Amino acid sequence: MRPIIGITCSRLVGGSWGTYSPGYFMDYTYDAYSRAILTCGGAPLLVPVAQNESSLEGIVERLDGLVLTGGPDIHPRFYNEQPRPGLGELDADLDVTELAIARKAIEADLPVLAICRGIQLLNVCMGGTLYQDIPDQVKDSISHQQKADKGTLTHTVQVEDGTLLHRLLGVETLWVNGKHHQALKDVAAALKVAARAPDGVIESVEHPGKRFVLGVQWHPEGTWEKDPHSRRLFSAFVSVAQNSPDRRGA
């Protein structure tokens, strides 16, 4: 039986019901996440924003793994800061849902793969903080907002020796496809830095005390079909979820 992998959704305002009706929120995420999970052996299942504590507990109990996806900026109130001028679009309801499901997944030792916004949310949910805008707050930073297709690898990261990321990929230097203007600032105490960009910006963290909790600032869902390192991230994640000792029916 394929492991069930939850994939969090963002929201956008969609078309109206009719001429005199307002637009409505629509849950969405890019299908590249689902296709990567499916191809690597998992059963993708989208998790919409409208949730409460009880519904999230029920979802986490039924999942074998969780992907925290990309999306808008995280509201700085969740890491006790005031907004800076470079802060982008916010969706506080999305923040509440994702912070809650991330905490529950980590408490349950569920395998977690956190991507772009996901790595930032992972850090915040565990007590860390963020740079709200890299160009404004990180001196001499490289461009982290690539002006290229998501399938294009645009800059390198240095992978830390002895990390899960290093064991999975077996490389010290990795080309990635970043598109973000926020990044981890103060790393949560339970997390370990696994990779940095040439300017020192944190590009990956992991939780050494869990079976598989790995965050990457880049977008492997955009490159997994051609880039073996991106595919390896999804394959390893799904494999851990598949082999969880407490899986239903195991």
Active-site residues: which are they? Answer: 116, 219, 221
* Alpha helix ranges (H) inside 108-227: 117-125, 134-137, 164-169
Distance CA 218, CA 67 (A): 14
The CA distances from residue 72 to 30, 91, 147, 170, 225, in Å, are 14, 7, 18, 31, 25
Q: Is-contact 48 91, C-beta < 8 A?
A: no
φ and ψ at 244, to 5 degrees? -60, 130
**Amino acid letter, residue 40:** C
The pair phi, psi for residue 123, each rounded to 5°, is -65, -45
Closest to 91 in 3D by CA, of 77, 69, 117, 72:
72
The two tokens of residue 130 are 């963020």
In angstroms, the CA 118 to CA 7 distance is 11
